[in-house]
């Protein structure tokens, strides 16, 4: 058995012998729920008392920084620099979780105690994101142990960035990375968050769809008016707004306003998505084959196209309807978009469209925008990662040009200017953000081997030269 194979066996044994579960149990027990107003001490403790000792033992120096945005949680930068001439990898994770929702758990032992039930490890953060970055740290430790005979050198430099406000929208992350650009200088981001395509298929994604919400509000008059006396004489704002929405996205989910549609799917993105099946697991909903943009496969619709959703709609008093024409109606819309979609003038574009369709003035307010990102699937870092994973697992991994959901990847891709490669260690049915969140032990075991193999292979790869 060669040195790399011995390493992969040791990485698997780290889970099989219970050491990984012990590490994860400590981290799950820290109630670092950033949505709670009093979470500050727990967020600080997760960095200072849990991650710092672990990373210090692996040869990292560290600094903990206050968030530049009031109310945001702290950041940790940990660095292990062996040779400035070698590539530097930036890794990212978040130590915060969402609220525990303690009373709603039906499996395990509640959100703050790791509990094993068959192949599932229950606890808040097991999937998002404590379990995922714990896998990466544990895999790195296995590589350093295996390299001891050669002086314990990785053969590359590594910087960790941890934030503690991701579950509240990552306030301060962009400003912090802009201010710390030199400290975070690297050649690539390699990180883990989000789900695999399915539990059984190791997956790589290269960015994420962007996301923006916008509210539509139509107010036609003060107060409601009896429908028997005024029906047929007064515009109903609920009816008008419903038709306005239908002019934006039709009854089959197809976006009807050209400015909100993406450019054609690039050939190498389409090739990467060819043959991929979305859903099909026992807990997955059934995909509606006739929903969304016609002529696209389900994988192309969720990973290569834009979607416009109605998240909420209100007119009148839904809880207690009365026989009166309401004075107003409002809706919250939700746009997921891929690279190449310009949302910088979203309000102006939608307003112009609705005016051209003859609708009365509808108030539009646009929320925060998370930009879309996508690394070129032909980038050398992509080929290196796919080859390394295939070498460790014996199978070709799934390549998603971008995640269907959204992550703060625009900070790394745009502000720090990095190629971004994500290797998720969860799966779609993990119940993240819900009661009964869990990590699958078989996925964690394979992920430990994948990341150990990747760290091992990085010693012999220089993405800068490969790209030249």
- At residue 282, φ and ψ (nearest 5 deg) are -55, -35
CATH 3.30.70.360 residue ranges for the chain: 210-262+306-370
pLDDT-derived band at 400 (thresholds 50, 70, 90) equals very high
Proportion of the chain above pLDDT 90, given as a percent: 94
Prior bond to 422 cis, omega within 30? no
Q: Is the pLDDT of residue 411 over 90?
A: yes
335, 371 Cβ separation under 8 angstroms: no
Q: What is the pLDDT of residues 62-87, one digit of tens each?
A: 999 999 999 999 999 999 999 999 99
- For residue 150, how many C-alpha atoms fall within 13 Å in the half-sphere facing its CB? 10
Those residues whose C-beta lies under 8 Å from the C-beta of residue 115, and which sit 6 or more positions away, are 107, 108, 109, 121, 122, 123
Q: What pLDDT score does 112 carry?
A: 98
How far is residue 221's CA from residue 226's CA, in Å, rounded to a whole number? 13
The neighbour count for residue 85, using CB atoms within 10 Å, is 7
Q: Is the pLDDT of residue 283 over 80?
A: no
How many H helices and E strands in the chain?
A: 15, 19
pLDDT-derived band at 284 (thresholds 50, 70, 90) equals confident
Q: Is the pLDDT of residue 150 over 70?
A: no
DSSP state letter for 254:
-
Q: Report the candidate in 208, 273, 247, 252 with the shortest Cα–Cα distance to residue 410.
A: 208
Q: pTM for the full model?
A: 0.92
Classified as helix, coil or strand, 63 is strand
The mean pLDDT value of the chain amounts to 96
Q: Report the candidate in 193, 234, 254, 190 with the shortest Cα–Cα distance to residue 455.
A: 190
Q: What is the pLDDT of residues 192-217, one digit of tens each?
A: 999 999 999 999 999 999 999 999 99
CATH 3.40.630.10 residue ranges for the chain: 3-208+372-467
How confident is the model over 227-244, as a mean pLDDT?
97
Q: Indicate the fold that domain 3-208+372-467 takes in CATH.
A: Aminopeptidase (3.40.630)
Classified as helix, coil or strand, 144 is helix
Classified as helix, coil or strand, 414 is helix
Q: Indicate the fold that domain 210-262+306-370 takes in CATH.
A: Alpha-Beta Plaits (3.30.70)
Q: Is the pLDDT of residue 227 over 80?
A: yes
How confident is the model over 17-39, as a mean pLDDT?
97
Q: What pLDDT score does 468 carry?
A: 63
């Amino acid at each position: 058995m060669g040195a790399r194979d011995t390493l992969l066996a040791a990485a698997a044994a780290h889970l099989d012998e219970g050491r990984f579960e012990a590490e994860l149990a400590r981290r799950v027990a820290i109630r670092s729920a950033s949505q709670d107003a009093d979470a500050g001490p727990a967020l600080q403790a997760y960095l200072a008392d849990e991650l710092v000792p672990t990373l210090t033992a692996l040869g990292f120096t560290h600094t903990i920084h206050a968030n530049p945005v009031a109310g945001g949680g702290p950041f940790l930068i940990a660095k292990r620099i062996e040779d400035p001439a070698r590539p530097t990898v930036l890794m990212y994770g978040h130590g915060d979780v969402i609220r525990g929702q303690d009373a709603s758990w039906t499996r395990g032992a509640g959100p703050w105690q790791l509990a094993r039930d068959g192949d599932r490890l229950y606890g808040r953060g097991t999937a998002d994101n404590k379990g995922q970055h714990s896998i990466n740290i544990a895999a790195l430790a296995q590589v350093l142990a295996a390299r001891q005979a050669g002086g314990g050198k990785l053969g590359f430099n590594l910087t960790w960035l941890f934030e503690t406000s991701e579950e509240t929208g990552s306030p301060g992350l962009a400003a912090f990375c802009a201010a710390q650009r030199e400290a975070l200088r690297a050649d690539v981001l390699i990180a883990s968050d989000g789900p695999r395509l399915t539990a059984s298929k190791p997956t790589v994604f290269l960015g994420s769809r962007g996301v923006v919400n916008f509210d539509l509000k139509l107010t036609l008059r003060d107060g409601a008016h009896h429908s028997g006396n005024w029906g047929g004489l007064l515009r109903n704002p609920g009816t008008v707004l419903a038709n306005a929405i239908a002019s934006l996205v039709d009854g089959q989910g197809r976006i009807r306003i050209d400015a909100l549609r993406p450019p054609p799917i690039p050939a190498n993105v389409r090739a990467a998505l060819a043959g991929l099946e979305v859903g099909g697991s026992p807990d997955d909903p059934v995909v509606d084959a006739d929903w969304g943009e016609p002529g696209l496969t389900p994988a192309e619709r969720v990973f290569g196209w834009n979607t416009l959703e109605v998240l909420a709609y209100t007119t009148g008093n839904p809880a207690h309807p009365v026989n009166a024409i309401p004075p107003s109606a409002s809706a919250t819309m939700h746009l997921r978009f891929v690279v190449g979609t310009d949302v910088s003038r979203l309000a102006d574009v939608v307003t112009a469209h609705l005016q051209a369709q003859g609708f009365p003035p509808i108030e539009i307010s646009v929320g925060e925008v998370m930009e879309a990102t996508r690394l070129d699937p032909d980038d050398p870092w992509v080929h290196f990662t796919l080859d390394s994973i295939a070498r460790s697992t014996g199978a070709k991994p799934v390549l998603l040009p971008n995640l269907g959901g959204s992550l703060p990847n625009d900070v790394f891709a745009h502000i720090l200017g990095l190629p971004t490669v994500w290797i998720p260690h969860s799966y779609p049915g993990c119940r993240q953000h819900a009661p009964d969140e869990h990590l699958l032990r078989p996925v964690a075991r394979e992920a430990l081997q994948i990341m150990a193999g990747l760290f091992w292979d990085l010693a012999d790869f220089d993405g800068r030269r490969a790209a030249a």
